[in-house]
């Protein structure tokens, strides 16, 4: 509850312009994100892009840093194995926060294929507030899917 309240009060929530593609016509168009977002990185200032929108991450606020450390502790063995295989530090260095203002907002089906994400990087998902369905499916095979309530 405390993390949720601290993030709720954070002043950096923004709806940014993104580039979308109409599935029927294939035409691209620009629109505002359907939900407010904000991002944090270690070190602050990392840039990240998705849907044609660039964002510069701010410093992790203390509440998110505490949650990050708890997730890293819970995933310790898996993160250490990944770090040994890749030669990278066993920690998360970026956070993209999404604020869902009502039950109709969500992230659509997509593949994280941005060039600045290291292949096979671990991604942690943390949900605060109302329960949400998190669906993962194998690329190109929607029959192989997992649905988790967060």
DSSP string, 50-82: ETTEEEE-BPPPHHHHHHHHHHHHHTHHHHHHH
Statement: the pTM of the whole predicted model exceeds 0.85: no
Region 15-22: mean pLDDT is: 86
Give the model's confidence band at 142: pLDDT under 50 very low, under 70 low, under 90 confident, else very high.
Answer: confident
Please check the confidence at residue 74 and state whether its pLDDT lies above 80.
yes
- pLDDT at position 114 is 62
**Which stretch of DSSP H or E encloses residue 19?**
strand 17-21
CATH code of 2-149, in short, is 2.60.120.590
Angle between helices 62-74 and 76-86 (to 10 degrees): 90
Q: Tell the residue number behind the tokens 């993209």, with chain if given.
A: 96
């Amino acid at each position: 509850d405390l993390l949720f309240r601290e993030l709720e009060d954070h002043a950096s929530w923004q709806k940014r312009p993104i580039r979308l593609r109409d599935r029927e016509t294939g035409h691209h168009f620009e629109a505002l994100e359907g939900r407010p977002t904000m991002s944090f990185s270690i070190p602050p200032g990392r840039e990240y892009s998705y849907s044609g929108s660039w964002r510069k991450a701010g410093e992790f606020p203390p509440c998110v840093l505490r949650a990050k450390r708890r997730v890293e502790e819970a995933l310790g063995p898996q993160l250490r194995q990944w770090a040994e295989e890749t030669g990278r530090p066993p920690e998360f260095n970026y956070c993209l926060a999404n604020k869902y203002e009502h039950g109709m907002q969500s992230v659509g089906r997509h593949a994280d294929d941005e060039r600045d994400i290291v292949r096979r990087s671990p991604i942690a998902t943390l949900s605060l507030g109302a329960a949400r369905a998190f669906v993962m499916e194998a690329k190109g095979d929607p029959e192989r899917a997992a649905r988790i309530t967060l």
